[in-house]
Structure 1
């Protein structure tokens, strides 16, 4: 995908990548057990992508409206910098993170898939979405992955961001 100079500048200055969980890091399915436990399926390639972008100095956070021990465990495994669960107002959570890190919203990317993600997507510099996102979310995105959430979409998005950053760095040499 050809990017504009504006998108290149945003990707180059990216400091924080925020992700939704259900429908982005997973396929959106939730398996509930009778004992109130649950299961979610994550993609290992997404995890590697998260490690790659963190190695570039970009912090990674999760903001999700649900609360899940499974998500806590996955976030711990991936050394996620910020895990915010049970969040009903994601834009308010973003404001807290901006203050904590002393950054502006244009230094943030958010990957969403459903209408509850629209307010935060309108605030960040790089609103992004996955192939299975609802139409209004896709329309609000600067990039939509070809892959669906839970099937390597986050890795695809991270690879796209890293490619832009690498190309931009090459132009500065």
Structure 2
């Protein structure tokens, strides 16, 4: 076990180790939750490059990724495409339906999935997955049910923190870093 992996509680590592699909909410998770509106009413989102690279590293290790979000946005489609996230569900207010479709499409069990969320709209999926993570500023009801609460806030490295944790739990953290240390 790496020194980094040893910094997490054994039960958290055990749950993260079984994750084959990591699911992310968008607003408040991949972004800081703020929305910027242009004159034409279009909402803009700010994404974090650290989070994006963590998602790519997670995918390279064999963990699939997905997005389930209540909002509909072309920015999310573009960001998902840039990151290679194949499973994107937008405009979903009952996230349970999207999660069931995702399980059918991937053939995975709910216990093989992880979820990073922040608000009560995430709970229908959050309570079903094997590894539950909440961002630092998440709603108290989500935090209460989380296996792990990030130290970073949404849009400020929380997703990267979870990607690194999953990599470490699966024994892939050092291998993911190796190309950058050669």
Instruction: Give the SS at the match of 1:17.
Output: strand
1:2 paired residue among 5, 8, 22: 8
Q: Structure 1 residue 113: deviation in Å?
A: 0.3
Cα distance in structure 1, aligned partners of 2:37 and 2:48? 19
What pairs up with 1:18-29 in 2 under 5 angstroms? 18-29=23-34
Consecutive aligned runs of 4 or more in structure 1 exceeding 6 Å deviation? none
Q: Is the 8 A contact 1:145 1:153 kept in 2?
A: yes
Any unmatched runs of 5+ in structure 1? 168-173
Q: CA RMSD in A?
A: 1.7
What pairs up with 1:39-118 in 2 under 5 angstroms? 39-118=44-123
Q: Structure 1 residue 13: deviation in Å?
A: 2.5
Q: Is the 8 A contact 1:91 1:123 kept in 2?
A: no
Q: Is the 8 A contact 1:24 1:112 kept in 2?
A: yes
Any unmatched runs of 5+ in structure 2? 1-6, 173-182
1:15 paired residue among 11, 17, 20: 20
TM value normalised by structure 1: 0.92
TM value normalised by structure 2: 0.87
Cα distance in structure 2, aligned partners of 1:68 and 1:36? 12
Query: When the two structures are aligned, how many residues end up with a matched partner?
Result: 168
Q: Is 1:160 aligned to residue 145 of structure 2? A: no
Q: Is the 8 A contact 1:128 1:142 kept in 2?
A: yes
